[in-house]
Structure 1
Amino acid sequence: MESGTNILVIAYPVQGHINPMLQFSKRLASKGPRVTFVSTSIMSKSILQTEQTAGSSLNFETISDGSEDVDRKTESIDAQLERFELVVSQNLEKFIERQKSSKHPPKILVYDSVLPWALNIARKLGIDGAPFFTQSCAVNAIYYHALRGTFGQIPVEGPSISLPSMPSLSISDMPSFICDTHSYPALLKLVLNQFSNFQEANWLFCNTFDKLEHEVLTWMASRWPVKTIGPAIPSMYLDKRLEDDKEYGLNLFKPDVDACMKWLDTKETGSVIYASFGSLAALGEEQMEELAWGLKNSNCYFLWVVRESEEKKLPSNFLQETAEKGLVVSWSPQLDVLAHRAAGCFMTHCGWNSTLEALSLGVPLVAIPQWTDQTTNAKFIVDVWKVGVRIKLDEKGIATKEEIEMCIKEVMEGERGKEMKKNSMRWKELAKEAVDEGGSSDKNIVEFVAKLAHS
């Protein structure tokens, strides 16, 4: 049943932002309203495939982001962000104008929180706007404090940083943009600007769930209208209420499904290390080599995702030497791998989507965070949720093969590993409970749709 409510959703065009926002859109659509997912031209081809897999529950529209008119290989991050804001803000405004005179005028624009200017456009055109935060609430809180100047001169001196409702954080637990403000000034500005006008919104959506970040959420909810709606992963891995929702729908790389699943089927329960560092991380040659031998020396079975652009960094004889124990693929169906009984642990860069997937599927973690929010996620994985270990880097910033082997063995064989597995299973239950009927995330979505229908 489709109600008269039309919700527009726009994400920043990278896979880690689009996927959770697509999942949220599917959940919204399942409650009755019409949901229109607006993608920008750089993603239009990938989104076309999504349209086929998302079924008829969503409407897809594309607006130009100017990427078709530039050479993206030579464009700097600063120029890219500037162009995106300039072109998309103009085209989004025109698009909403057109929608307003259609049969289904939109009531609200749910926008990626890194596009705060979208709220101004929505308000100017007389519709509501709500940011969707694709990172953890803990990370969002840190950025909020940074924007307000809470840290004074960054980097913060002293052994630990204390913030309301958070565990004590060391410098290495902070998001990398905060510790190293000079490396990516444009990206630091992007993450801080999320909080430039968010207090004007009537809803703030967060891809997390109440029990996972209870303390920081309590602190945030006492100040702002925060609504948790996560984990935003396909329903068939959680509550199974949306029957056609088996995958995100957006894959920038083609996963080798058959090879992965057939290989896993031949392995014993909990015997495989799954290693993957997401769609963006690029490891140095020395790090790839240490990782390769660390996996081999652990003497466990391993399934390792090495993107085609990274393959040349593998040690020359590695694939031959590990053919008995390992499978290296260029991309994998990650949810299916983590849900497989053979998955014993997940060695990950700790991106928020990967972290939520592991928690939702009950798989312990070996954390090798690289940059941005991953370092903070790793802190929570180890010290708050107690579902994994974090690899310590040597003085050159490298995770050595000895350290990798030791961490793998701790999770796969040690006493602490059993404890982590038990904790992982508990989080899996709580994640499912949150999105299932009457759960905290489900209630928030139902309430939002009801309020819109009556506005």
Structure 2
Amino acid sequence: MCVCPMYRQLSKPQSIGTRVPMADSSPHLHVAVLAFPFSSHPGSLLRIVCRLAAAAPDVTFSFYTTEESNKSLFSVPAPPNLKAFHLSDGVPEGYVFSGKPQEAISLFLEAGYQSCKKAVQAAEAEIGRRISCLMADAFLWFSCDLAEEMGVAWIPVRTGGVLSLSVHVYTDLIRDTVGINALAGREDEIVKFIPGFSGGVRLGDLPSGVLFGNLDSAFAVMLHKMGKVLRKAKFLAVNSFEGLESEASEDLNFNFTKLLYIGPLNLTCSAPATGPSSFSDEYGCLQWLDSQKPGSVAYIGFGTVGTPAPDELVELANALEARATPFLWSIKDSLKKHLPEKLLERINRTGKMVPWTPQVQVLAHVSIGVFITHFGWKSVMESITAGVPLIGRPIFAEQHLNGWVAEHVWRIGVKVGVLRKDATIRALDLVLLEEGGKKLKENAEWLKELAHKAAGKNGSSTRNFDSLVEFIRAQKNLQV
């Protein structure tokens, strides 16, 4: 089991452009790891680094994210070869947020290159070893330039899927072919020219910022730049597994030396990235599930960043009541307050509402029949590894595309769009009661088998992790 470090304050950095000699002339390696400090990204990347640190105890890993992110990630003592450093969040002193979408992301990205540059130099000075390799969340496109400036190898890591990555790699092709003007009313149009989607994909389900939404937002520009710069990567580590996204993989392997599948991370890096609480069951969820019939319970969890609007939560609760569906709902008190008191009293007779669940263990429980979620990639992977069908209400980013793939490519789920009582009832009936639901379950079980095989002792993801360790070690002779 890998554990994680207490965060550290940064020492005053020097310019990377004048890299001073290190006092320590040890041949040991130093890998810098840059995280995108939003949503589940830093936790997913930290899981990978924890496994690498355990596999390569003679290599030092310095992990970089914002102070706030570090505080939430690092709560227990660290192995000696894994150390954490702060990046600037880019928020000026005294700054008052306006409430605009993606404002925090925009500020972080504005400071991103210079912040990472200073933090890496600080780590070199404190640890006494030059960086030999730069690993980064693929979202941080500028990490490629930083690696080139430092004269070290660059390892981008994709915490999402390959099919959605294909869309970002081919954004210019999509825009040139479809156009970016007068798109209103074309959301339901199916196109088949995007590599990886020979069966077609709905335009309205492409990630926001590709054709629809604010194409000039910091988030959209970041993804566009990512799609361009990743062509320079020697290889790309991906949180997916062989056989899941084969068509896109075949195409993208022409653009990268190698797609290195190392997922699903909840199997390949199963030790908790946030301390013991990841496995705790303080609200008795598993015990409650023990009292339910096999395959009967709807597990509901929309993550911590985006959630359906209050009126949609009420519609979902009304659907659960109408069908008397047993449910386990992970919902914060701040959202729970939007549900009418009498409705809460009624639905609590058949279900359980808690502010936290051990999601991986919950999904693996025999009583779970469906996972109602936002189609975030982490949740989709955890559902697949448990063999559980999905009902999804996408909210932002790539969740709409993940929903399309789950419903139309893998055929393991149903996308409902906006939550409404009647549509949710139809989805629950389909998955839990009708013949079509059995097929969804069979498909989910088939993908579960593939995932566990890939993550097994001699599986492809396990071998790829070994290759990643070998690549890191091979940088020893490349140090300046």
Q: TM-score if structure 1 supplies the norm length?
A: 0.88
Pair 1:18 & 2:48 matched: no
Q: Deviations over 1:376-402 (max 9, x none)?
A: 1111111221212222x5xxxx43212
- Residues 261-300 of structure 1 mapped to structure 2, 5 A cutoff: 261-300=286-325
Instruction: Show the counterpart of 2:98.
Output: 74
Rounded Cα–Cα distance in structure 1 between residues aligned with 2:102 and 2:299: 35
User: Structure 1 residues 108 and 70, CA, compared in 2 at 3 Å: closer, same or farther?
Assistant: farther
Instruction: Show the counterpart of 2:446.
Output: 426
- Name the SS of the counterpart of 1:317 in structure 2: helix
What is the CA-CA distance between 1:421 and the residue it aligns to?
1.6
Pair 1:90 & 2:114 matched: yes
What is the CA-CA distance between 1:179 and the residue it aligns to?
4.3
Rounded Cα–Cα distance in structure 2 between residues aligned with 1:188 and 1:365: 27
What is the CA-CA distance between 1:260 and the residue it aligns to?
1.7
Range that drifts further, 294-303 or 33-42: 33-42
Match of 1:164 among 195, 209, 216: 195
Instruction: Show the counterpart of 1:204.
Output: 236
- Name the SS of the counterpart of 1:69 in structure 2: coil
Match of 1:317 among 338, 342, 350: 342
Q: Deviations over 1:343-392 (max 9, x none)?
A: 1110111001100110011111112222221111111111221212222x
What is the CA-CA distance between 1:310 and the residue it aligns to?
1.5
Is the contact made by 1:6 and 1:108 (CA closer than 8 Å) also made in structure 2?
yes
Rounded Cα–Cα distance in structure 2 between residues aligned with 1:82 and 1:173: 24
User: Structure 1 residues 83 and 251, CA, compared in 2 at 3 Å: closer, same or farther?
Assistant: farther
Q: TM-score if structure 2 supplies the norm length?
A: 0.84
Instruction: Show the counterpart of 1:390.
Output: 415
Instruction: Show the counterpart of 1:108.
Output: 133
Instruction: Show the counterpart of 1:141.
Output: 166
- Residues 238-277 of structure 1 mapped to structure 2, 5 A cutoff: 238=267, 245-249=270-274, 257-277=282-302
Rounded Cα–Cα distance in structure 2 between residues aligned with 1:337 and 1:68: 41
Match of 1:373 among 398, 417, 424: 398
What is the CA-CA distance between 1:176 and the residue it aligns to?
3.0
What is the CA-CA distance between 1:89 and the residue it aligns to?
2.5
Instruction: Show the counterpart of 2:71.
Output: 45
Unaligned runs of 5+ in 1: none
User: Structure 1 residues 100 and 175, CA, compared in 2 at 3 Å: closer, same or farther?
Assistant: same
What is the CA-CA distance between 1:414 and the residue it aligns to?
1.4
Instruction: Show the counterpart of 2:208.
Output: 176
Instruction: Show the counterpart of 1:194.
Output: 226
Is the contact made by 1:296 and 1:322 (CA closer than 8 Å) also made in structure 2?
yes
Rounded Cα–Cα distance in structure 2 between residues aligned with 1:286 and 1:86: 35
Rounded Cα–Cα distance in structure 2 between residues aligned with 1:123 and 1:404: 50
What is the CA-CA distance between 1:203 and the residue it aligns to?
2.0
Instruction: Show the counterpart of 1:416.
Output: 436
Rounded Cα–Cα distance in structure 2 between residues aligned with 1:426 and 1:282: 29
- Name the SS of the counterpart of 1:417 in structure 2: helix
Rounded Cα–Cα distance in structure 2 between residues aligned with 1:446 and 1:118: 23
Is the contact made by 1:294 and 1:401 (CA closer than 8 Å) also made in structure 2?
yes
Rounded Cα–Cα distance in structure 2 between residues aligned with 1:77 and 1:365: 28
- Name the SS of the counterpart of 2:135 in structure 1: strand
Range that drifts further, 225-234 or 284-293: 225-234
What is the CA-CA distance between 1:99 and the residue it aligns to?
4.0
* Matched AA of 1:359: I
- Name the SS of the counterpart of 2:263 in structure 1: coil
RMSD: 2.8
Match of 1:332 among 345, 357, 368: 357
Rounded Cα–Cα distance in structure 2 between residues aligned with 1:307 and 1:182: 30
Unaligned runs of 5+ in 2: 1-25, 476-480
Rounded Cα–Cα distance in structure 1 between residues aligned with 2:110 and 2:214: 24
Q: Deviations over 1:295-354 (max 9, x none)?
A: 112222101122233222213312211222011122322112112222111011100110
Range that drifts further, 348-357 or 70-79: 70-79
Range that drifts further, 371-380 or 69-78: 69-78
Is the contact made by 1:294 and 1:405 (CA closer than 8 Å) also made in structure 2?
yes
User: Structure 1 residues 372 and 339, CA, compared in 2 at 3 Å: closer, same or farther?
Assistant: same
Is the contact made by 2:166 and 2:195 (CA closer than 8 Å) also made in structure 1?
no
User: Structure 1 residues 78 and 262, CA, compared in 2 at 3 Å: closer, same or farther?
Assistant: closer
Match of 1:305 among 318, 324, 330: 330
Pair 1:58 & 2:89 matched: no
Count of paired positions: 440
User: Structure 1 residues 271 and 340, CA, compared in 2 at 3 Å: closer, same or farther?
Assistant: same
Instruction: Show the counterpart of 2:478.
Output: none
User: Structure 1 residues 296 and 170, CA, compared in 2 at 3 Å: closer, same or farther?
Assistant: same
